Structures are given as structure tokens and as C-alpha cells.
Amino acid sequence: MSLTLLPDLGDLLRLHPQLNAGTVVELLRHLQKNGGAGPEVLWASGPDPDHPLRDALPAAGFGIRELPLALPDVEAEYAQLVSFLNQYPQGRERLRAAAQAEQAFAAVLTAPLTLPLALGPEVQEAARAYHSAIREALGEGPGTRWHERRLDAVAAALADVADGVVLAPLDDLPGLLDRLPAARLPDLTGFTPGETSRLRALADRAWQLREDDDLGALLDALDRESGDAVTPRAELDAAAAGIYLAVGDLAGARALLERAAHALTDDVPRSLPGVVLARLGQVRDAQGERELAVRTYRVLLALNHAPAFTREVAEAGLREAFRLEM
């Protein structure tokens, strides 16, 4: 076993049907089966507590070990640079060039992605070009130094690690490969995304309703599935409840949410109870059951973990009853 670098897309994992949290889980299972992964993942990605893989990995049986990264707070330094550059025409031109580089790379990340594409030369070169363009636009200094510091910190944390799987932002991979000669990208030979990836893609899609969606077909697809560890039946019910709520069917939404709430166990992804209870509290409020809604919000706020947006829903619900606007 050697040091393997996995690409992380953060919240964009919710966007790509063929490269989502379930896909990453399946890749880890594939690597583990072939002796290329252990029971835990070394986390070199961002600190976001609501990252989709912070749910999916433990639910699938993989531990997360945070790398000890001693990173300085560069936000204030960068804000000072932006403020300075905005004072001068040439500075504003530099900021526009940096923004164009960010937009170009964002277009790469939001186009349909698969693991072979994300790890392929075209996307990896786009990551290098992105950071090179930022350096050219802003020069060596507060605008770019943060990335070099980050790469150096990750490399230092991994200096004595001989093997394992490291999750790192996709655009960090080229720089980490330069700094860690023994590291490599995962071998995708024989790997094909399967049911875990497909189910995760279905749920992600159901949470992102669009005006032109065939809601009936989406409900039928959710109803046919029994779920798995990463995307349990309770989440599929909660996602389906969101569709009922979108069309104003409070009774249908409530029935599914209460079924989902009764199915919550210690084994479900850690964010799911908060998501279910936030939506259930709103539905009970909309049906005029204020006391029950308030109790639901309070149960949510007592959870050990709930996504930030669900806590905001609960806090708002305690201040004022939720009303459905159609």
C-alpha cells in the first residue's frame, strides 16, 4: 500500500451524478478490496462540518482522521490586499484577471465530471493553469501565498506517512504530487460506480428541484428504492417529502417525514436527523400545530450535530411560526 490522493470537490459532490459522495465511497471500497486503502481516510480538505463526505464516509464504515495542519489565518491578509488593489486602476485590473481565472476553473468543475475526468490530464492541467493565472494576476504575496502555505502544511503533515488514502481538494493534487514523490493518484483499473453512487445521485437530484422537473417520475424513482448505508430509506422519504411540500401537499409531506423520523437510528448519516426534523417542524407549523412544531425544533437543537441551515430553520421557527407560501 502507498500514499493515494483522492480528489475532493466539496459541495460540488452534490452536483455530479457520476462523481458524488457515494462514488467516493465505492472507490474506497474498490481500493480496500485491492489492498490500497485502510479503514480510515486522512482528511486534508476543508473544515466545513457539513461536507457531504463527513456524512457518507462514517456511514459506510470509514473513519476520518484530520491531518494536523498548522495554517495561519489568511482571510484578513487577503481582504487587505483586495482593499489595496481596489484603490488603483491597475489593481482593479489585476482583480478582474484573477476573477476570470476563477470563473474559468469553476466552469471546469461544474461541467459534468467523472472520476477518470477529474483525475485525467485535462482537469489536472486546468488546476495548474488556474493557480498559475492567479499568481500572474496577483503576484507573489497575500493573494497566492495561502495556497503555497497550505500545500507545504499538508506535505509536512504527511512527511512520515508511508501509506494511506488522503482526501484533498482537487486543485491541490498537482502541487501535492510535486511535494510528495511517493504519492500517487488512485488506480481506477476495474472500477465502475455502482448502486451506492446511483442512489446518492438520485437523492442529490431530488433535493435540487427545478421548474421543468417531472415530479411524478422523480417520486416514482424515490419510492422504488430501499436505500443503503450512505443514502438510507429515511433520506429518500425526506427528499420525496420535499417534493410534496413544493406542490403544497402538506399531508403527503408530513406522512413521509414522520415515517423518516421514526426510521432514524444511530447508524444513519449524522446530518439526516437535523434535515428530517427541520422539515417536519415546518410542516407541523404550516398545518397549525404550533406546540408540536416548537417541540420538534427544540429536539433538533438538542442534537449533537445538525447542519447549520437546519439550526437556522429551527431558530427561526421558534421565533415565528413557519407559513407555506405558494
Q: What CATH number is attached to the domain comprising 202? A: 1.25.40.10
Residues 2 and 84 in one domain: yes
Q: Do 10 and 130 lie in a common domain?
A: yes
In a domain, 279, yes or no: yes
User: At 121, phi and psi to the nearest 5?
Assistant: -60, -35
Question: Can you give the pLDDT at residue 1?
Answer: 57
Taking a C-beta distance cutoff of 8 angstroms, is the pair 256, 244 a contact?
A: yes
Instruction: Look at the block and give the residue holding cell 450535530.
Output: 305
How much is the pTM?
A: 0.93
Does 89 share its domain with 22?
Answer: yes
How far is the C-alpha of 6 from the C-alpha of 262, rounded, in Å? 36
Clarify whether residues 169 and 314 are in a common domain.
no
Q: Which domain holds residue 157?
A: 1-185
> Within a domain: residue 291?
yes
Query: Do 286 and 156 fall into the same domain?
Result: no
Q: Which of 47, 45, 170, 60 is nearest to 114 (CA)?
A: 170
CA atoms within 13 Å, Cβ hemisphere of 274: 20
Residues 220 and 315 in one domain: yes
Q: Grid cell 408540536 — which residue?
A: 292
> Which domain-ending residue is among 146, 162, 185?
185
- End of a domain among 127, 155, 185? 185
The per-residue pLDDT for 198 is: 98
Q: Are 168 and 44 in contact (CB under 8 A)?
A: yes
Nearest to 311 by CA among 301, 298, 321, 296: 301
Side-chain-side CA neighbours of residue 29 (13 Å): 20
pLDDT, tens digit (0-9, with 9 covering 90-100), for 1-55 = 589 999 999 999 999 999 999 999 999 999 999 887 789 999 999 889 999 999 9
Q: How many CB atoms lie within 10 A of CB 139?
A: 12
The H-or-E segment that residue 178 falls in is: helix 173-179
The per-residue pLDDT for 289 is: 96
Q: Are residues 21 and 155 in the same domain?
A: yes
181 and 199 share one domain = no
Average pLDDT over residues 278-288: 97
pLDDT tens figures, 224-247: 999 999 999 999 999 999 999 999
pLDDT of residue 86: 85
Q: Find where cell 493553469 sits.
A: 129
Number of CB atoms found within 10 A of residue 188's CB: 15
pLDDT of residue 183: 94
